Structure 1
């Protein structure tokens, strides 16, 4: 069937999830969900309490402390990046000064003669 192939490719079978030949577990799950929905619809709506976090809770203090640590860490990383940039700029400036003070006449003569 496959020419010039040492190992036969894997077989592929398309199984549609939209056709009626679905797995029995899916039908059972669908029936359970429909039953749960029908019982919930017949009952009155379930009241869920909504809780708002108060400003005096410990979790907000913890979040505030974490946020301050993040800000401090960001400041240190910006300072570190600035110092690295200043060091690289200083090295480039020193390199330019060295190139301007060096005598490249021998290099230029060699390039002319080549």
Structure 2
């Protein structure tokens, strides 16, 4: 479907420059800048790019599930997305998130 074409395409089919997402993707730039503001305000702790990537992954996964399994009893989709965002931000607010290149302490 269109969603797979846009977001879940095999690497071999992605346009050149796809690996420069942060530099060329306006949405990711906005997400990182918002996270940087939250870190500066003391609302979140850790590496802004790692936090933004985690938020992106949660959002992408949530939307993917809603599209792929419309029959699953998620309840109201907007309420479910808000709950996932609230839960993720609440969890991240209790962590000092290291850069993605570091191995987490508990692994």
- TM-score under structure 1 normalisation? 0.22
Structure possessing the higher relative contact order (Cα contacts under 8 Å, 6 or more residues apart): 2
What TM-score results when the alignment is normalised by the length of structure 2? 0.24
